[in-house]
Amino acid sequence: MTVSAHTITLLTRAGCGSCETARDQLLPLCAEFGIVLESLDVDVAAASDPELRAEYGDRLPVVLLDGREHSYWEVDEVRLRADLTI
């Protein structure tokens, strides 16, 4: 396994079943590519960054690849896998 230069952040909310499903999908993929999955609760982060919740709060989960929105509501695993090989 090589360590990837990419970062993946999952934007979530407590009690979000879809967020848990996305996390379960991303963990093995991240492990495969040597990436530590970062997770950020938009409601908790709103204390210091209210724009984050305003931007993403109504379409969680959101997957960020290298800080940019990659997909929301569902993990686009095929596209994510392709983008991680670039």
Q: Where are the domains of the chain?
A: 8-84
Whether the pLDDT of residue 85 is over 60: the answer is yes
Asked if residue 81 has pLDDT above 70, the reply is: yes
Residues 27, 37: contact at Cβ < 8 Å?
Answer: yes
Mean pLDDT estimate for the chain: 93
pLDDT of residue 2 exceeding 60:
no
CA-based R_g, the chain, Å: 13
CA distance 22 to 50: 23
pTM exceeding the 0.85 threshold for the entire prediction: yes
| Tokens encoding 64 | 């960020």
pLDDT of residue 86: 78
User: 8-84 belongs to which CATH class?
Assistant: alpha beta
